[in-house]
Structure 1
Amino acid sequence: MGEYVYAESWQRLLDQAGQPGQSGAMSLASAGPAGPAGSGASGELKHSAKPWSDAAGAAHSLQTDTATVKAKLTSAHTGAQAGTAGLASMAALTSVLASWEKRLTAVHTECGALEPALRETAWAQGEVDAGVKSALAQYSGKR
């Protein structure tokens, strides 16, 4: 992993955190006090790639399902116009079919765009975490 270049304001904070006589521990003000070891209430902000990966999986499933449903819907309407020329109900049915096809296509397209973005977010968070951990380790003496 390459060396990170930080904005001047961040670099100042990192330099201050590494000064002798100052605690290197950081926590979120909203995280509250650290709990006893092993209690799970460490006061650290934690996250996981799992929710992002799960959301990507859901987007993929929804994309697949909308394609399947659209194909079935279109197939079910095949031949419906035969012998019904001029009926108002056929015009309404055709309009409803077009509307559903448009909606299903939009959902399919949106999910197709979301899935890779969600997977990239899960991956990128892991990379950023590793980079920040490595960069902060040089200030705390841990590697």
Structure 2
Amino acid sequence: MSTAAYPESWQRLLDQAGPPPAPSLHLASAAPGGGDLHHTPKPWNDAAGAAHSLRTDTDTARSGLITAHAGLDTSGAGLLSVTALKTVLTSWEQRLGAVRDECADLEPKLREVARTMGGTDHAVRSSIAGYADPVPADEKGR
């Protein structure tokens, strides 16, 4: 326990809460004390769908930003703020482009995880199926 000094009001609350629980590690998807661990592709496919939507929305926003600033050079000629605005525009174009590209790269990888884990689950299930209902041994134990 640390030796940090807390104000009295905080110390009372900490004392009421008691000591922190001992650290432990559990699989979120496994029942405490055992149980079956099941894989589902839904979270991975949902994440891939979110990446796809974010890529699409980011690209739309980037295109809208570019369109909104079209003709800035001619309509704002002579204004000092045009240079600063173009610098900000370029920065946002790059940022939004990077997000779009990252999402485009991430989406198929997330979908592949869902497929791979599903295949792994099937392979493991098949490989242990013989142990669940083994062939009875003959009288010599074979």
1:110 corresponds to 2:102: yes
1:56 corresponds to 2:60: no
Matching residue of 2:61:
69
Q: Distance in 1 between matches of 2:107 and 2:32?
A: 35
Matching residue of 1:139:
131
Q: Percent of pairs identical after alignment?
A: 52
**TM alignment of 1:24-35, pairs within 5 A:** 31-33=31-33
Q: Distance in 2 between matches of 1:137 and 1:46?
A: 16
Matched residues, number: 106
Matching residue of 2:93:
101
Most deviating of 43-52 and 113-122: 43-52
Structure 2 stretches lacking a partner, 5+ long: 1-26, 135-142
Q: Calculate the aligned-residue CA RMSD, in Å.
A: 1.8
Q: Distance in 2 between matches of 1:87 and 1:120?
A: 51
Matching residue of 1:120:
112
**How big is each residue's C-alpha offset from its partner over 1:50-100, in whole Å with a ceiling of 9 and x where there is no partner?**
000000000001111111111110000001121433422101100000000
1:82 corresponds to 2:57: no
Q: What letter corresponds to residue 66 of structure 1 in structure 2?
A: T
Q: What letter corresponds to residue 90 of structure 1 in structure 2?
A: V
Q: Distance in 1 between matches of 2:115 and 2:109?
A: 10
Q: Which has the greater radius of gyration?
A: 2
**How big is each residue's C-alpha offset from its partner over 1:91-117, in whole Å with a ceiling of 9 and x where there is no partner?**
110000000000010001000000000
Give the TM-score normalised by the residue count of structure 1.
Answer: 0.68
Instruction: For residue 77 of structure 2, give the secondary structure of its aligned residue in structure 1.
Output: coil
